Structure 1
Amino acid sequence: MIPVQGYEGARVAVLGLGRSGLATAAALRAGGAEPVLWDDSPEARAKAEAAGYACTDLTRAGAFEGIAALITSPGIPHLYPRPNPVIAAAMAAGVPVDNDIGLFFRSWATAGWDDFDVTPRTVCITGSNGKSTTTALIHHILKHAGRATQMAGNIGRGVLDLDPPEDGEVVVLELSSYQTDLARALTPDIAVFTNLSPDHMDRHSGMGGYFAAKRRLFAEGAPDRAVIGVDEPEGVYLANQMAMGATDDRVIRVSSAKKLGDFGWSVFARKGFLAEWRKGRQVASIDLRGVKALPGAHNHQNACAAYAACRSLGLAPKLIEEAFHSFGGLPHRSQTIAEKRGVRYVNDSKATNVDSAAKALEAFSNIRWIVGGMGKEGGVSALKPLLGSVKKTYFIGHSGRDFALELAPLEHEICETMERAVARAAEEAEPGDTVLLAPAAASFDQYPNFEKRGEHFTALAQALPD
């Protein structure tokens, strides 16, 4: 646990009592603050009370009298599409609103660091797609190299639930736009921006607000080194904003679409090969084609970003390459979960939007594509140019029939359920085919989350006869 600094003897409100909320309450108490807890859910309040906390109704008039700050869970809107009433009341009362990420950065360093030979460091990863894989890959590389490391944030543990760091430790944090948007303190040593594509538009009132939330990690965080994907205009802009010139090697530009040889430091992948360039010459190269857990250009971009971050930490190229090959990948992200009768089954249930589904479609050939769920604004018509490798589509879920109309005249079948889709794809698949779950939609019509959807697909595929 990271005890929160700066609120000793103060009453600090906590809104939202999920994983991060309860970890925040414990960290506040450990730092000498008095946590004041609330959640709209009676079940969440009961869980908090069972853990030894008292709950106070923050919706009542005058609830913020004597409160030093409000710490809110990232999923609770604070501005768009409209502020949560409790957050609005705190702001109206002049009470500072923060989240656990802000508390982490104000509390991470302690006087005990004076005795360390090597100062602990933080690597923070944000972006639209690939940030979880990039985070896990950096963490894996560090472990492979024998470096002390922990991983948290939007993946794994809550940040305040981390153990106090040891000498030279590197903490790797995945940060969503919800987390970077509100944090009052952001001071990463290395910040990574993977890419940007439309998502969470209602929460950020459009692409501008969404990008602005991501950009805060760099503009306000002032990292010592910035690793920035430049395959979209926003990344090009961000790299330009952070660098003093083309040769400024505090910015490492990353691409999976083009050569980047004219900068102080760049890492890019072309035709399956990762190349590192410094001051106009190539200094290292890695063949990514045999790295099973990182298929496709989108994963090659993740590999480039992770490589750049680890090179910034002083790791050797050969050591990073070894770690690539031992990386097992993340569940529900281009994950090969079975091979039956010469057919590969790939679980990419995390592909909940068009952009991530597009990357999955580009990564494989001879695809039998399971797609559908709760469709998002804009539909899936943007995927039509990428259907050359798709042999047949099996539509499931609430938006399945709408998706079929958008993607016509692609050969397809309306299956509605995952059971039927897997069964029909398995019946028709031939050796060399890939049965790919890349839904391009949310899961909430049939499953509580994308993980449960992926687990169901995995169980069905693995139960097929060999």
Structure 2
Amino acid sequence: MAVLGLGRSGLATARALRAGGADVVAWDDGAPAREKAEGEGIELRDLSKAKAWEGVALLVTSPGIPHLYPKPHPAIAAARAAGVPVDNDIGLFFRSFATREWDSFDQRPKVVAVTGSNGKSTTSALIHHILAESGRPTQLAGNIGRGVLDIEPARDGEVVVLELSSYQTDLARALTPDVAVFTNLSPDHLDRHGGLGGYFAAKRRLFAEGGPDRAVIGIDEDEGRYLANQLSEGKGDDRVIEVSSGQKLEGAAWSVFARKGFLAEWRRGRQVASVDLRDVKGLPGAHNHQNACAAWAVARSLGLGPRAIEAAMRSYPGLPHRSQRIAERDGVAFVNDSKATNVDSAAKALQAFQKIRWICGGLEKEGGLGPLVPFLGTVVKGYVIGREAAGFARQLPGIETEICTTMARAVERAVEEAKPGETVLLAPAAASFDQYDNFEKRGEDFAAEVRRHLG
């Protein structure tokens, strides 16, 4: 077996394959990763060479490595030329998850898989939290937490919750979750998927390849409505649970929606549960209410009761860098949403708070900032960071902006000017790579600067 890419998931894959008795060869374009793997006794082989494929039965590639667009990695192209099948760790997981031990279990383990453009991390973590708080054995893995081949063997009645990116669903040869969730869709990773259609097609594979027993579908975009319609056999089909933030859904056999801060569950034309989400601090704003609806739908489909789910939601602490309230002083809240790396997620963050001192900017993504303009009404002032801060600020008409360039300067100025009742919000609407290794580092820098100024 060959493994391409030796980051977190790649190393976990190599270890798992070796534990299963496979002979493993591996490669990574980065020397430090190769040295780490070699230190574990993993044989290195330059997989871009044609002769490297003699005796190899399968290539397992890491999700970040292009396999089709903009062009295949040379090692993947070489594998295909040699007739070697290509898969990823997600495909291996679904092919190997069930074991003979399951025959003695009282309750078969299940897999919940969550995909979408925005909210999938929060939705996955919230489902995991609800299950854990309810006493159900559960593990969280995939694009969040641990690699899927690094988790423990499933226990009796356990639910494994997977966050899956389009990179992961696009290539996996097996995708067979018991419950699959589609949160929403907005343009992202378009170069990797050859456009919006290819991006949606990668997400759709989670539902089309294995046919989940239950599908939870966010229908606030055309793609979600299309997917729900494709999966449903008609209005009485409760295998599809429709989810929305802002729409009242009464026509579907089973729906969960949030309006004006209230979550409602409807089944077969009548309301069966309702929750006030407005004071749930770990889930601020309409976008998080959509996440709550999706998590609620999953938990209900797994047999949990409304009271247990509501109690767990109220104790949910939130995820780092995703609408994370990191401090409050003199009536000013400081919120870290560094994960808002695109226009759509930043727009949702801007709708979650009033009177915002907005720290934004970074490596701008394709398509510009035009779609953000309708949501700037909550912004008191923008503090723009990044190497191209001036160009970023010019695309934000109608609001006062200050070119700060660095996080340190932006936080300093926002702290100086913020008044009681306002929120200092980091929601960059841009990638971090012009100044940081990743969005986590950017969020950590914001939090550190806030702590420095607040003492």
Give the TM interval when normalised to the shorter protein.
over 0.9
Counterpart of 1:204 in structure 2: which amino acid? H
The answer for the alignment partner of 2:295 in structure 1 is 306
Counterpart of 1:374 in structure 2: which amino acid? L
Which of the numbers 390, 407, 410 marks the counterpart of 1:418? 407
Q: Deviations over 1:70-100 (max 9, x none)?
A: 0000000000000001001111111100000
CA distance in 2, matches of 1:456, 1:303: 28
Which of the numbers 198, 207, 213 marks the counterpart of 1:224? 213
CA distance in 1, matches of 2:190, 2:172: 19
The answer for the alignment partner of 2:314 in structure 1 is 325
Equivalent residues in 2 for 1:273-312 (5 A)? 273-312=262-301
CA distance in 1, matches of 2:27, 2:434: 29
Secondary structure of the equivalent of 2:296? helix
CA RMSD of aligned residues (A): 0.8
Which of the numbers 78, 86, 97 marks the counterpart of 2:67? 78
The ranges of structure 1 where at least 4 consecutive aligned residues each deviate by more than 6 angstroms after the TM superposition are none
1:140 lines up with 2:110 in the alignment: no
Cα offset for 1:40?
Answer: 1.4
Report the TM-score when normalising by structure 1: 0.97
1:43 lines up with 2:68 in the alignment: no
Verify the 8 A CA contact 2:110 2:158 in the aligned structure 1.
yes
The answer for the alignment partner of 1:170 in structure 2 is 159
The answer for the alignment partner of 1:190 in structure 2 is 179
The answer for the alignment partner of 1:459 in structure 2 is 448
1:58 lines up with 2:47 in the alignment: yes
Cα offset for 1:15?
Answer: 0.4
Verify the 8 A CA contact 2:49 2:78 in the aligned structure 1.
no
Counterpart of 1:444 in structure 2: which amino acid? F
Cα offset for 1:249?
Answer: 0.1
Counterpart of 1:179 in structure 2: which amino acid? Q
Secondary structure of the equivalent of 1:303? helix
Q: Deviations over 1:432-457 (max 9, x none)?
A: 01000000000011111100100010
Q: Deviations over 1:248-271 (max 9, x none)?
A: 000000000201111110000001
Secondary structure of the equivalent of 2:128? helix
Equivalent residues in 2 for 1:9-408 (5 A)? 12-408=1-397
Identity of aligned residues (%): 72
Counterpart of 2:181 in structure 1: which amino acid? V
CA distance in 2, matches of 1:402, 1:40: 34
Secondary structure of the equivalent of 2:413? helix
Secondary structure of the equivalent of 2:84? coil
CA distance in 1, matches of 2:416, 2:50: 62
Cα offset for 1:112?
Answer: 1.1
CA distance in 2, matches of 1:282, 1:389: 33
CA distance in 1, matches of 2:142, 2:346: 24
CA distance in 2, matches of 1:312, 1:52: 44
Verify the 8 A CA contact 2:48 2:76 in the aligned structure 1.
no
Verify the 8 A CA contact 1:367 1:436 in the aligned structure 2.
yes
Aligned pair count reads: 455
Cα offset for 1:61?
Answer: 2.6
CA distance in 2, matches of 1:431, 1:247: 50
* Segment of structure 1 superposing worse, 372-381 or 208-217: 372-381
CA distance in 2, matches of 1:225, 1:418: 44
Counterpart of 1:236 in structure 2: which amino acid? R
CA distance in 2, matches of 1:59, 1:87: 8
CA distance in 1, matches of 2:197, 2:371: 21
* Segment of structure 1 superposing worse, 420-429 or 55-64: 55-64
Verify the 8 A CA contact 2:105 2:157 in the aligned structure 1.
yes
CA distance in 2, matches of 1:399, 1:308: 42
Verify the 8 A CA contact 1:369 1:437 in the aligned structure 2.
yes
Secondary structure of the equivalent of 1:294? coil
Counterpart of 1:187 in structure 2: which amino acid? T
Secondary structure of the equivalent of 1:345? strand
CA distance in 2, matches of 1:69, 1:109: 20
Secondary structure of the equivalent of 1:240? helix
CA distance in 1, matches of 2:262, 2:308: 16
Secondary structure of the equivalent of 1:252? strand
Verify the 8 A CA contact 2:109 2:155 in the aligned structure 1.
yes
Cα offset for 1:381?
Answer: 2.1
Q: Deviations over 1:150-209 (max 9, x none)?
A: 000000100000000110000000000000000000100000000000000000010000
Gapped regions of structure 2 (runs ≥ 5): none
Verify the 8 A CA contact 1:375 1:398 in the aligned structure 2.
no
CA distance in 1, matches of 2:294, 2:375: 25
CA distance in 2, matches of 1:403, 1:362: 20
Verify the 8 A CA contact 1:340 1:464 in the aligned structure 2.
no
Secondary structure of the equivalent of 2:52? coil
CA distance in 2, matches of 1:221, 1:130: 23
Q: Deviations over 1:32-91 (max 9, x none)?
A: 111111111111111001112111121223211211010000000000000001001111
